[in-house]
Amino acid sequence: MSSTIEVPAGTSGAGPDVADIVARTREFVREAVLPVEDRFDGDVTAAGGDDVRRRLQGEARARGLLAPHAPGEYGGLGLSMTQRARVFEAAGYSLFGAMAINAAAPDEGNVHLLTHVATPAQREQYLAPLARGDVRSAFAMTEPAPGAGSDPTALATTATRVPGGWGIDGRKIFITGADGAGFFIIMARTSGVAGDRGGGTMFLAPAGAPGLRVGRHVPTMDRSMVGGHCEVELDGLVVPDEAVLGEVDEGFRYAQVRLGPARMTHVMRWLGAAVRAHEVAVEHSAVRRGFGSAIADLGMGQQMIADNEIDLAATRALLDVACAALDAGSPAAQETSIAKAFGGEAIGRVVDRAMQLCGGLGVSADLPIARIAREVRPFRVYDGPSEVHRFAIAKRAVKAARLRASS
């Protein structure tokens, strides 16, 4: 069926054999990862947390599949955005798949950010162990209201000059992977006031530094991310000047280096999960009979199957457009916003239809669809809610129209 992964033209031949990496990733996920996910109903804490992460990443390393996105000099495969799209989709077929190849959030996005922004010394201290899977990381930007959320300019955490470095104070919330992270990338305001579009700076801080405390896990509906989504308190945290990531007051600009690609890799991973839900539903509806025929042969069942195929194909196409733009050096703000907003909602529709096709089994733990549904639903909120992306998409379109009218 068309939901099967197809490697885009131009991603094999010279350079990495992406088709081979995709095939081996699919094999690894089905042989080593899916059994763990299925046994523990997609709950990574119940499965062993960091212990299961290290075990699965060790297997991925032995198979030459660890960190497909990381630079080769740090043990990764060095794949471009376009090349990694089908690899991450293949990994995402399991809710634990991205973790197993060391491509889960927030580590994958932090690898990308450190690769492009960090100094050589920072790359050796932080990027190298992260790419190897020796440590996990966290990206600390979101704050309790009225601080930074979908509007990052509301940033309230402050960093002020102290002898030899910076003192950082503030509160963060929903910090994915914070519990057990080896280090943090912290966004703090170094100039201006909340609401200003500039003045943010990124800082690197090792876990356990005095003044950095990981608090409670915020209970959320998803369960597949190691380290949870935590509150983090910054109270008198002091970091040296060498801890500044990039340039002072340029943190918002650097955040875009991370966020555009990270949104697309989220689409890749959740697309893989939606493919699994769809395939399970099609297989079930092809044999489950009702009203004298297979569910898949009834008109309403066929419509749901067809709509799923359309949503999967459209998401994949928009994703590939955005990845090509990123690989060409464009910020791809419009392309990534479109792919994120459409993909987040289309993936949710696919999983919801799959659940409906499977009836009672669809909402049970006997099939993987219900747990996939609880994992993909938050994607419409994080990395920019759909509404914020629509706002930005419209603003860019109107701006372009006005420029054309004035020229």
Q: What is the pLDDT of residues 26-70, one digit of tens each?
A: 999 999 999 999 999 999 999 999 999 999 999 999 999 999 999
Residue 200 and residue 141 in contact, taking contact as beta carbons nearer than 8 Å: no
pTM of the model: 0.93
Q: For residues 359 and 261, what is the distance between their CA atoms, to the nearest angstrom?
A: 36
User: Does 101 lie in the same domain as 22?
Assistant: yes
Q: Taking 80 as the threshold, does the pLDDT of residue 4 lie above it?
A: no
Name the phi and psi angles at 245, rounded to 5.
Answer: -100, 110
Q: Maximum Cα–Cα distance for the chain, whole Å?
A: 79
- Chain-wide mean pLDDT for the chain? 94
pLDDT band at 274 (very low <50, low <70, confident <90, very high): very high
User: Does 315 lie in the same domain as 384?
Assistant: yes
The answer to whether position 51 is within a domain reads yes
Q: Give the CATH number for residue 318.
A: 1.20.140.10
Among residues 76, 100, 132, the one where a domain terminates is 132
Domain extent for 264: 252-406
Beta-strand relationship, 137-140 and 183-189: parallel
pLDDT band at 17 (very low <50, low <70, confident <90, very high): very high
- b/e code 315-348 from CB counts within 10 Å (16+ = b): bbebbbebbbbbeeeeebbbbbbbbbbbbbebbb
The answer to whether position 8 is within a domain reads no
The answer to whether position 4 is within a domain reads no
* Average pLDDT value for residue range 141-158: 94
Place of tokens 């010279």: 14
User: Does 123 lie in the same domain as 99?
Assistant: yes
pLDDT digit string (tens) for 259-271? Answer: 889 999 999 999 9
User: Does 395 lie in the same domain as 258?
Assistant: yes
Q: For residues 346 and 323, what is the distance between their CA atoms, to the nearest angstrom?
A: 18
pLDDT band at 185 (very low <50, low <70, confident <90, very high): very high
User: Does 124 lie in the same domain as 35?
Assistant: yes
The CA-atom distances, in angstroms, between 249 and each of 153, 166, 395 are 12, 13, 25
User: Does 291 lie in the same domain as 230?
Assistant: no
> What six digits make up the tokens of 310?
């359309």
Among residues 204, 224, 250, the one where a domain terminates is 250
Q: Give the CATH number for residue 120.
A: 1.10.540.10
The answer to whether position 1 is within a domain reads no
The answer to whether position 9 is within a domain reads no
Name the domain count of the chain: 3
Among residues 110, 132, 154, the one where a domain terminates is 132
User: Does 161 lie in the same domain as 101?
Assistant: no
User: Does 37 lie in the same domain as 23?
Assistant: yes
User: Does 337 lie in the same domain as 312?
Assistant: yes
The answer to whether position 289 is within a domain reads yes
The answer to whether position 382 is within a domain reads yes
**What phi-psi label fits residue 198: left (phi over 0), alpha (psi between -120 and 50 degrees) or beta?**
beta
CB neighbour list of residue 398: distance below 8 Å, 6 or more residues apart: none
pLDDT digit string (tens) for 89-136? Answer: 999 999 999 999 999 999 999 999 999 999 999 999 999 999 999 999
pLDDT at 12: 39
Q: For residues 284 and 227, what is the distance between their CA atoms, to the nearest angstrom?
A: 34
pLDDT at 14: 53
User: Does 121 lie in the same domain as 141?
Assistant: no
Count of C-beta atoms within a 10 Å radius of residue 125: 18
The answer to whether position 11 is within a domain reads no
- b/e code 385-403 from CB counts within 10 Å (16+ = b): bbebbeebeeeeeeeeeee
Q: Give the CATH number for residue 169.
A: 2.40.110.10
The CA-atom distances, in angstroms, between 192 and each of 187, 200, 238, 240, 272 are 14, 9, 20, 21, 42
User: Does 239 lie in the same domain as 273?
Assistant: no
Sign of CA dihedral 336, 338, 340, 343: negative
Residue 136 and residue 50 in contact, taking contact as beta carbons nearer than 8 Å: yes
How many alpha carbons fall within 13 Å on the CB side of residue 376? 33
User: Does 208 lie in the same domain as 170?
Assistant: yes
